[in-house]
Structure 1
């Protein structure tokens, strides 16, 4: 036999061996009925929020409510920074950027929570 034929036979044997191993090992997990039911309930729960984004009308155009909440949060951050600077809390409180940003995020999330809850 030639070298080429031996290489082909070796590769064919190796391929058959790998094929038989892959048949014995199940790669995909099998879900039970309970698992399928839980997965379906999780999908339904996650799709509950897909009803549409709340919006507000400004000058005849619809703007998303999250944008207004973000603007309120940024304004709150600037006001918090101004109050910290005017009361000289900047010398006492470390990480002022993180503190002011956290105040703005908390206010924005509170506005979103109270505004969009029906």
Structure 2
């Protein structure tokens, strides 16, 4: 059982090939989270709800972290 636990770290890291270069999976999660955060901001501005949600720095930072972690958990 100890041998199986020590071999678990020998798998390949999650990377995505793009035009022959391998990029880490977390990089794509960050880019996707940025796009989702921008869409939420546009939606809040369109509905005139942005002034009701509080500090924009805290809100959008938290949304960015939430979206990036959700994308990582769902795809990797």
User: What TM-score does the superposition give when structure 2 sets the normalisation length?
Assistant: 0.76
Instruction: Specify whether residues 49 and 113 from structure 1 end up closer, same or farther in structure 2 by C-alpha distance, changes over 3 A only.
Output: farther
Rg comparison, structure with higher value: 1
Instruction: Specify whether residues 49 and 71 from structure 1 end up closer, same or farther in structure 2 by C-alpha distance, changes over 3 A only.
Output: farther
2:15 corresponds in structure 1 to: 55
Q: Supply the distance in 2 between the matched residues of 1:57 and 1:107 (Cα, whole angstroms).
A: 22
- What runs of 5+ residues in structure 1 fail to find an aligned partner? 1-40
1:71 corresponds in structure 2 to: 31
Following TM superposition, where does structure 1 have runs of at least 4 consecutive aligned residues deviating by more than 6 angstroms? none
- For residue 97 of structure 1, report the CA deviation from its aligned partner: 2.2
Instruction: Specify whether residues 77 and 50 from structure 1 end up closer, same or farther in structure 2 by C-alpha distance, changes over 3 A only.
Output: farther
RMSD of equivalent CA atoms: 2.2
User: What TM-score does the superposition give when structure 1 sets the normalisation length?
Assistant: 0.52
Instruction: Specify whether residues 96 and 49 from structure 1 end up closer, same or farther in structure 2 by C-alpha distance, changes over 3 A only.
Output: farther
Aligned pair count reads: 73
Structure with the greater relative contact order (CA < 8 A, sep ≥ 6): 1 or 2? Answer: 2
Alignment of 1:82-97 (within 5 A): 82-97=42-57
- What runs of 5+ residues in structure 2 fail to find an aligned partner? none
